[in-house]
Chains A and B, each alone.
Chain A
Amino acid sequence: MDRDRPTLMPAPTPEPSESALLVRRFLSRIGFYLFVVIVGAFFALPMLWLVFAPFDAHPTLAATPPSSPTLANFPDLLKDPYALPSLANSVVLAAATMVLVVAAAAPAAYALSRVRIPGRDLLLYVLLLFSSVVTGTAAMVPLFLLVFDLGLINTYVGVVLVLAGGLIPAGIFILKDFVDSMPKSYEESARVFGAGSFQILRDIVLPYARPGLAVIAVWVVVNVWSNFLIPFILLRDPGMLPAAVVVYNFYTEGGQANLRLISSFGLLYSIPVVLMYLFVNRRYGFRFYGGIKG
């Protein structure tokens, strides 16, 4: 626009001065810390109640440190015949569903990523849609009738199959993205050395897609662990119920919510999945730089 300008004053130096750089760096540091503190508080504050209330003899809705911390709430949980066994039941359901979903979704994701099938993307999207709707409350009646006809009411097999059917589409969807980003040359060289499809899947695709596998494994466990509806409608025997259903017993007994049992059970019920995540995160990590080492 202003063509005279360069002749009137020296062209601006391509690099900003040292002090301006320092100020900019300082401000971006401040912004960074502000972001971290605000986000940290946002995520931490709602959890405070679960830290304090289980150790309070008379918990209220206030998240205040108990004046005299006690462990008395936990032995009371032992007196409840279903509280602790329900946690073991949740482990069985979550583990079985996770294995089934990963075992079914990983090969399917690889195949769908590498083989051209007409309408493949549309098929995936439609399945994803079904999964998002069917796992909701609407398909309750058909799911119950189906599992009943298969003779799987009051069995974990029935619960696991229904849960897995609902989770596999998203599992394939997530994994396929990771496999898509894998260079074709990896498989081609393995193929040259005579590796079969299964070997390529096991030795090349799965290690490459490990961040994706970790993501869906954790995600399946989290989903099953807190799923209330499916075990609620498909299981009959109170001793088989998972924690997600049993936690509601503390609402109904005596009419009022029993905050002592809810908080202490809530803590016991939440800790295993959190620990599992920490384990998976350390073991597999999500820090993966897209390449085979060596």
Chain B
Amino acid sequence: MSPRAAELPSPPVASTPPEASAAALSTRGAVAFVSPALLLIGVFLVFPALWTLYLGITDYRLTGLQAANPQVIGLDNFTSALGDPAFANSLWVTVLYVLGSAVVGQMGLGFALAWVFRRWRGPARSALEVLVITAWIIPSSVVAFLWIAFLDTHHGTLNVALGNADIPWLFSWPLLSIIVFNTWRGTAFSMLLFGGALNTVPPSYLETARLAGASSWQQLRDIVLPSIRGHILTNLLLISLWTFNDFSPYLITAGGPNFATDTLPIYIFRNALVNFQLGYGAAISAILLLINLGIALIYLRLLRART
């Protein structure tokens, strides 16, 4: 590509940490750049979140005496949650949902697509890319209808495609159904992020590797994956958190049948907004927050461990 044939690509060393030259941006400039975002986040995100945590230690309800004058009841909400088999079931369902649909489904398929797309041009590629992104862009309420229709026992496209199999997917395989659904729904984000990430890998590195006889697999393992490690972990963290807190299965299965798809957000919704136990619901939210914190800390460790 370069007109200067003698120019050698620089070796693929790890990029220098951004902190290395703080001089490019003055501290005052940095504060000015960060303040608007922090102000918005502080008022409309952190403050309500802390308020939720406070509600978790109260017996706040929407109706009755506790609505007017909620009492602090300490950790009672937490102990009753941890003793509730329905909560344990929700937690397990949520873990399977996240592992199956986010980590394996979205991440695996998203990377595979980005990798296949990296040098493939043409109408077929564009069509496939548009399909994947359309699945991600169609609004949730419409998507819920599409999947209810798609998985319908008698008329559903899936059963028709399988030769009128008449399998009641949402009844016999409810968790698998929403895992596949969420993979379909969210793969585009990973695909786009990995697509952008793969483009930040300097083509000269790959060119050099190719000239040295490295196979696609070797290029992937030795050059691409190390240089987009940060993107991979960021993506993993984001999609795990989003899937953990995803409410959209409710629109398809409402948590059923028999709580087989009762993920934690649905459990919270049922307790806080159907049964009006806002304090109890907030306590579960706090537990969800702690689980998310655990996930984030694991990723943070991974990110640090190899930097």
Contact = CB atoms under 8 A, between A and B. Distances in A.
Nearest to A105: B37
B146 A50 contact: yes
Contacts of B230: 177, 180
Contact of B40 (A116, A161, A173): A161
A188 B21 contact: yes
B292 interface: yes
Interface in A33-63: 35-36, 39-40, 42-50, 53, 60-63
A134 interface: yes
Nearest to A186: B24
A287 interface: yes
Q: Is the interface of A mostly helix, strand, loop or mixed?
A: helix
A89 interface: no
Contacts of B241: 128-129, 132
A42 to B, nearest CB: 7
Interface string A161-183: 11011101110111001111101
B75 interface: no
Contacts of B19: 114, 116
Interface in B284-299: 284-285, 288-289, 292-293, 296-297
B247 interface: yes
A40 B127 CA distance: 9
Contacts of B113: 39
A166 B45 contact: yes
A212 B285 CA distance: 31
Contacts of A155: none
A120 to B, nearest CB: 9
Interface in B126-168: 127-128, 130-142, 145-150, 152, 155-158, 160-161
Given A173-B238, A273-B139, A133 B29 contact: no
Contact of B29 (A125, A197, A248): A197
B123 to A, nearest CB: 12
Interface in A275-294: 277-278, 281, 286-291
B235 to A, nearest CB: 9
A127 interface: yes
A29 B128 CA distance: 17
A35 B137 contact: no
Nearest to B193: A215
Given A40-B131, A134-B48, A165 B139 contact: no
Interface string B218-237: 00000000000011001001
Interface string B81-103: 00000000000000000000000
B31 to A, nearest CB: 8
B41 A114 contact: no
Nearest to A108: B37
Interface size class of chain A, counting residues whose CB lies under 8 Å from the partner chain: 35 or more
Interface in A194-239: 196-198, 200-201, 211-212, 215, 218-219, 222, 225-226, 228
A110 interface: yes
Interface stretch (A67-75, A77-85, A135-143): A135-143
Contacts of B132: 39, 43
Interface size class of chain B, counting residues whose CB lies under 8 Å from the partner chain: 35 or more
A184 B16 contact: yes
B299 to A, nearest CB: 8
Quick one: which of A181, A187, A225 has the most chain B CB within 10 A? A181
Contact of A139 (B23, B52, B149): B52
Contacts of B111: none
A166 B37 CA distance: 11
B45 A136 contact: no
Interface in B165-188: 184
Quick one: which of A126, A129, A169, A281 has the most chain B CB within 10 A? A129
Contacts of A165: 40-41, 43-45
B116 A133 contact: no
A47 B30 CA distance: 46
Interface string B19-39: 111111111011111101110
Contact of B137 (A63, A143, A274, A290): A274
Contacts of B78: none
Smallest CB-CB A-B distances: 9 pairs:
A165-B44, A62-B155, A138-B285, A226-B139, A197-B29, A107-B33, A142-B51, A111-B33, A108-B37
Interface of B: 15-16, 18-27, 29-34, 36-38, 40-41, 43-49, 51-52, 55, 60, 109, 112-113, 116, 124, 127-128, 130-142, 145-150, 152, 155-158, 160-161, 184, 189, 192-193, 195-197, 199-203, 230-231, 234, 237-238, 241-242, 244-245, 247, 265, 268-269, 272-273, 278, 281-282, 284-285, 288-289, 292-293, 296-297, 300, 303
18 contacts: A39-B109, A39-B132, A43-B135, A47-B138, A50-B138, A61-B156, A112-B34, A126-B293, A126-B296, A136-B268, A141-B55, A178-B196, A188-B21, A200-B25, A226-B138, A226-B141, A270-B137, A274-B133
